[in-house]
Structure 1
Amino acid sequence: MGRWEPGARERLVVAAVDLFTEQGYDATTVAQIAERAGVTKSTFFRHFPDKRELLVAGQEALCLLLTEGIAEAPDDAGPLAAVGAGLERASTAMGPLSRELAPRLKAAVAASAELQERDALKSVSLAAAMTAALVARGVPDPTAALASEMGVLAFKRGYAEWSEGDAEDDLARYALAALDELRVASASLG
């Protein structure tokens, strides 16, 4: 497969997740990932600064979709309803490839402290993007931060259930159900 063929980024992600699963994150090299994906090392580095960044492929797009959904929520939507609109919008970015890779990616993250750290930073980034979008809507900062953290937790819980569910299901359904569960749970905190 030539390096000029389309889909190099996706092939690199799939190759990396496969190799991380087969031999572990630490034992996997950039050269191995590039070879498995059918591209050169320089092509790898055009797409990712290092192998750790493969974990967050698409994070910028996900942040953008979340914030667009929040910004476009109806004016009378409360903070959690706006977060729900962001989750619905972000769910559109999660297709069959995301679902297919989810269990292997979860296992790779669980086996690597470095990937766990990067995954935590991803969560912080998603929450910060949602908080900024809510504050731009006029939501007070503490409320915006809390709603955003609930949104991140709902997305993670929904994603985990979706990746194990029926192939025809929509991620939005799982994420919104998780958000509703969290809303109920937070009301019981007293």
Structure 2
Amino acid sequence: MARWEPGTAARLQQAAMELFTSQGFERTTAAEIAAACGVTERTFFRHFTDKRDVLFRGQDEFERVFVDALDTVSPGVTPMKAVMTALRGGASWFDDERRPHSRMRQGVIDANPPLQERERHKLAGLADTLAGALRARGVPEPAATLAAQTGTTVFGVAFGQWIADGETRPLDAIADDVLRELTALTGEA
């Protein structure tokens, strides 16, 4: 087996995605993922707590991108506009280079109901984090929770469109379109 090399976690993630896609998440073992990279199963577990972690690692970083963008918003901006600024900032994390990986990852998640539940939990965590950041800015309840959950829904719908086959628009542009659709539905400008 190979000794430790830089980039092992990224190689393990790529191998896992390929195996999950070709043989299914449930039928893929950590040992197979490790073997595909020429490392031991123990090395896999040094990087990931389990094979689900391959798909969901980085939640803190994911949320931090949104909160950092929210932190740039001037005081007095409406909660929904503040959240949309956060979503545009978060969208910057999802550049065109990330789109193929995101499509593959979502395909694995869509094929596995327990992973779908974990993905919903991840988005709920983002909504909770955004609501907390809004409250810290002085936004009262229920406005903080409503804005955060609405913004997270906009993100989820936009993300689904962004990873659709043939889609080439940037995620922030799609999120803006989804928000326009939502405001048309609610009758707000």
TM-score range, shorter chain: 0.7 to 0.9
Kept after mapping to 2: 8 A contact 1:79/1:147: yes
Higher alpha-carbon Rg: 2
In structure 2, the partner of 1:48 is 48
Kept after mapping to 2: 8 A contact 1:19/1:28: yes
Ranges in structure 2 where 5+ consecutive residues have no aligned partner: none
Name the structure where helix makes up a greater proportion of residues.
1
1:38 is displaced (CA, Å) by 4.1
Amino acid across the alignment from 2:26: D
Amino acid across the alignment from 2:141: D
Amino acid across the alignment from 1:152: T
Relative to structure 1, the CA distance from residue 76 to residue 23 in structure 2 (aligned partners, 3 Å threshold; closer, same or farther) is same
Amino acid across the alignment from 2:128: A
The alignment covers a number of residue pairs equal to 186
1:5-38 residue CA offsets vs partner (Å, 9 max, x unmatched):
3332222222222211111111010111222244
Give the whole-Å Cα distance in 2 for the aligned partners of 1:30 and 1:66: 31
| Equivalent residues in 2 for 1:1-190, closer than 5 Å | 2=2, 4-164=4-164, 165-166=167-168, 169-187=169-187
Give the whole-Å Cα distance in 2 for the aligned partners of 1:46 and 1:174: 37
Amino acid across the alignment from 2:137: R
Give the whole-Å Cα distance in 1 for the aligned partners of 2:45 and 2:117: 21
The alignment partner of 1:95 has SS state of coil
1:26-52 residue CA offsets vs partner (Å, 9 max, x unmatched):
101011122224443233222221111
Give the whole-Å Cα distance in 1 for the aligned partners of 2:75 and 2:17: 41
Q: Percent identity?
A: 36
Kept after mapping to 1: 8 A contact 2:95/2:170: no
1:115 is displaced (CA, Å) by 0.6
Q: Which runs of 4+ in 1 moved over 4 A?
A: none
Give the whole-Å Cα distance in 2 for the aligned partners of 1:65 and 1:9: 21
Relative to structure 1, the CA distance from residue 3 to residue 160 in structure 2 (aligned partners, 3 Å threshold; closer, same or farther) is farther
The alignment partner of 1:141 has SS state of coil
